[in-house]
Amino acid sequence: MSKKLLGMVLASLFFVACSLSPEQAALVRSVELPDLVLTNATYVLDRGEDTPLTVVAGQIALYDQSHTGVVSDLTFSQKDAQGTLVLQGSADAATVDLQSYDAQLQGAVSVEKIDQNFLIEAEHLRWLHDSEMLVSEEQTEVTVTYEGNKRVRGIGLRADLATSIVTFEQVLEGVVLL
């Protein structure tokens, strides 16, 4: 009888020691784990409306509940219907809305529109998919290099990749000659 009682006491101590406080349990339940994680992956985004965008990444984590993709160490490229490279870029990380395909690009972001001969570089850019627009945060400095050697640095970037029209709220360095 005493061994049985001792066993029950030890078991209850074990369960008490291993149980989480209500605060800890709520924190564990609030963490969303990815539904799918791809490592050293190539992902082709083809929505049927334009030529596909190819993304190569160190890691892609997809979250079904929040409709979010978190991508690290990425490069991307797009070719036209004839197979000619027209767009390429890279970033340290990106967070993508999997419904709208809008994205936040962070860390050493570069986007090059090869057929228009311009390069956009920043530490943080937002991609608005439906309007094909790259937008910088208010005080994020962005450098645009065009025609191979002309350079403009500014803040408040709005770059329409469909029309190749680039505007700044404020130019910090450089001049655009028409």
DSSP 31-73: PPPPSEEEEEEEEEE--SSSS-EEEEEEEEEEETTTTEEEEEE
Average pLDDT over residues 154-158: 93
Strands (DSSP E) contained in 26-175 are 36-45, 53-63, 68-79, 85-97, 103-113, 118-128, 133-136, 141-146, 150-155, 158-160, 165-167, 170-173
CATH number belonging to domain 32-173:
2.60.450.10
Is pLDDT at 26 greater than 80 in this prediction?
no
Predicted confidence at residue 28, as pLDDT, reads: 52
Q: Is 4 exposed, middle or buried (0-12, 13-18, 19+ CB in 10 A)?
A: exposed
Q: Domain residue spans in the chain?
A: 1-31, 32-173
Residue scoring higher pLDDT (115 or 159): 159
pTM greater than 0.75: yes
C-alpha 111: how far from its chain's center?
13
The pLDDT, as a whole number, for residue 7 is: 52
Does the pLDDT of residue 144 top 70, yes or no? yes
